[in-house]
Structure 1
Amino acid sequence: MEAGAVDLMLSPKQREQLVKFREKVSDVLQPYHNDYWLLRFLKARNFNLKKSESMFRKNVLWREENKISQLYSEYKEPEVLQKYKPGGKLGNAKDGRPVFLDPIGNVDFKGLLHSVTVSDATKFYIKTLESLQRDVISQTEKLKRQIVGVYYIVDMENLGHHHLWKPGVQFTTSVIQQCEQQYPELLHKVIVVRAPRMFPLAYSIVKPFLNEQTRKKVVVFKDDFESELLSVIDADLLPKYWGGNLVEDGDPMCPRTVSLAGKVPKEWYMTGRDLSVDSSQMTTTEIARGGTLQLTYKTSQCNSVLRYEFRTQEHDIGFGVKRLHDDGSKTPVVKTERHSCHLVPEIGELILEDPGTYIVKFDNSFSWSRSKKLSYWIELLEPDLEENDSKDEDNQGDEEEEEDDDFVQATEG
């Protein structure tokens, strides 16, 4: 759909702001940035041009830095997430909007965050949000009219005090912030069903992270919610457990359509297991409260690989990577974010596309009351270009070499 091709039913003042907004961000616009896309950022900031522009530019940068299109097409969640992730798409509502059902009361956040890294869990939720956003675009193209947002049904059955586990709450609020910042106005309506007595307490924790527009979209039902859901979606698309007609192999909850989450068995837990790197290779240090640790690595080759693994003894720590330029400026390669690596070791690798100097930062500046005991292992691997050239000339057709033979390890700067 071409930019500006949709009827957004705006007031003259709002349309004027939209035109000005498009002009202000014209240098970073992509083909898919139609008027509806831009309007979401304007609405999220109450049509304040300065705030909307800042939010939009940060989103463009975030999508680029995190390679969101690549994550969507290539990321595959760990097996434990495949088994115990929550929710699923129910198809499209009567008005054409996508519908997602999330039995969040069944989610064992403690089990999941003991079984996968926070990075993997975050990628899973980002991929889900990206998928829903793409569904909106797809429906718009299919129906040849602008579809605005999705219906998000949240089943709170089995919500308990275990859901108030602090790392789980921190992770949940971080996902909500990602949704509000990077996918503004994605939600058309949030329908909460089977809300238990402790729901007001749980909602009071996440409510500050919802903007005013999102709060207005939330409706809550303790029971008798079926008619509300059936006013949104056809009965044949809604599982019988939630008031529809859909049944799978006699199961009214339709677990193939809606992943039901559930308690994660402890055999999946990573906590207490040995790190993948031998402890003798780890460097252990203490980062003072309010302090940071910065490590510098230099590479002269394109597409070098920075591999890392780290864990704290207690509490979370920030981690990020920046590229240092000759003029002293720094460009984020991995945005600094807090990781609950006291629960599960954080393990990853980063492709450094350009040669240069890179700074790895462990950040405890957010904590003014606790120091953090950190164990980390980092190595920088550079392609051995001369060796590769030699292989191309002397050993054409022989492609059975070990992958590690293609790299030499660089020293820590």
Structure 2
Amino acid sequence: MGLDSEKFMNQINQQFHKYFTRGDFGFDKEGRPVVYFPFGNIDPKGEKLCRNLGQEKVHLWFQRGCTVYQSIYVIDMQGISQKHLWKPGLEVFSQIVSCLEQHAPESLYRLYIINAPTIFNVFYQIVKPVLDENTRKKIRVLGCDYKAALLEDIAPEQLPAFYGGLCFGSNGDNKCSHAISYGGPVPKELHFNDTVRPSKLTAVTVNRQSEILIPLEVETDLATISWYVKSLSQNDVGFGIYYSPNGNTDKIEDMEMIAPYFRLLTCFVPEYGSVQVNRKGKCEVPFKRMFYLSNEFNILDFMRLNNKYSYFLSKHLEYNFSVAVVGTPSERGEAE
């Protein structure tokens, strides 16, 4: 379908990095990288409606999720307003924190939350008891008097002048904007326009406390499976692909997860992409109200939609899956 082509991805990644408030700059006194999130400048609704939020999360998972090292994170709350309380936007950041805590709990050395408004301190005191004790010890919530605290971990020559250090960007830029994106409102022309979509879509309903497996047949040794999934209701869906070495689909726990699992609100932006399979066989598309995808040399891959944990809500989706042959017959081991 071309939605995950390199040209398309490069185009949207440039825009995403421009408006997503984040940047890596410098190191602490022990050599750990420091990551900045000027959260108060982000446009949460615009980012959610922008085209590649899901893909960016997947890229970050592959780049860092399995890497064992620690970082310092600085979240700047200056500029926080009512727009940041938009529920889908909050859920995205909740997923990011959850992913860090579940998959890379030791990657966080220290989390500084600076310029925190009074209301945030009230909120933090409510959620603090549910955080892991080890995580709580790493979090420091500070108001506008944060600069001395940052300098305890970060040398001034490694800290932007805007945050109390000695570093400047070009033309005396005290924010070092060449390395840290400070975001801003996302233009409406960059909001997702769902006009590029498969011509044939299949609707499916996953009833509460149930799941569905959708099989795909791959009849050649080199093929590409492409997918497009969109929720018809404002409920989250999780994506990924699993590989079952023995073909047993009874237990997800016994299978290998090849791509990361994320729960996404695909009612705003559909989940789409492709993966190459290198052996013919049967692919079962598992649905779960969460999703999964595999690029292993698989005889049996599947996507799953599982709604077992929902006691009240059914999930309504529309999807398309296609299998395309790639390579020459000789490359696929076939007689020409």
Please classify the TM superposition score into its range, dividing by the shorter chain length. 0.7 to 0.9
Counterpart residue number, 2:294 = none
Aligned match of 1:106: 41
Shift of 1:340: 1.1
Shift of 1:205: 7.5
Match of 1:318 in 2: 238
RMSD: 3.1
Q: Which residue of 2 aligns with 1:298?
A: 217
Q: Measure how far apart 1:324 and its partner are.
A: 5.2
Query: 1 or 2 for the larger relative contact order (CA 8 Å, sep ≥6)?
Result: 2
Distance of 1:121 and 1:368 partners within structure 2:
31
Alignment-derived partner of residue 325 in structure 2: 382
Matches within 5 A, 1:42-57: none
Structure in which a larger fraction of residues adopt helix: 1
Instruction: Give the drift of 1:92.
Output: 1.9
Give CA deviations for 1:221-268 in whole Å, capped at 9, x if unaligned.
112111122232232332221112222223221211211122211211
Question: 302-311 or 286-295, which moves further after superposition?
Answer: 286-295
**Structure 1 counterpart of 2:183, from 234, 248, 261:** 261
Query: Under a length normalisation based on structure 1, what TM-score does the superposition of the two structures give?
Result: 0.64
Distance 2:60 2:73 in 1: 14
Which of the numbers 202, 206, 210 marks the counterpart of 1:283? Answer: 202
Structure-2 separation of matches of 1:352 and 1:283? 23
Q: Is the 8 A contact 1:282 1:375 kept in 2?
A: yes
Match of residue 195, structure 2, among 265, 268, 274? 274
User: 1:2-401 to 2 correspondence within 5 Å?
Assistant: 78-126=13-61, 129=64, 136=69, 149-203=70-124, 207=128, 210-248=131-169, 249-270=171-192, 272-278=193-199, 281-315=200-234, 316-323=236-243, 328-329=248-249, 331=255, 332-334=257-259, 337-364=262-289, 365=307, 366-383=309-326, 386=329
Any idea what SS the aligned residue of 1:152 has? strand
TM-score (norm 2): 0.78
CA distance in 2, matches of 1:213, 1:264: 36
Sort the Cα spacing of 1:206 and 1:112 in 2 relative to 1 into closer, same or farther, 3 A. Answer: farther
Identity of aligned residues (%): 27
**What 5-or-longer segments of structure 2 have no aligned partner?**
1-8, 290-306
Larger of the two Rg values belongs to structure: 1
Measured in 1, the distance between the counterparts of 2:59 and 2:123 equals 23
Identify unmatched segments of 5+ residues in structure 1.
1-74, 137-148, 394-413
Contact 1:118-1:339 within 8 A present in 2 as well: no
Deviations for 1:340-398, whole angstroms, at most 9, x for unmatched residues? Answer: 110101111122233322211222413332223311111122347547689998xxxxx
SS state of the match for residue 284, structure 2? strand
- Deviations along 1:95-121, one digit per CA (max 9) or x if unpaired, are 333222221222223211211345313
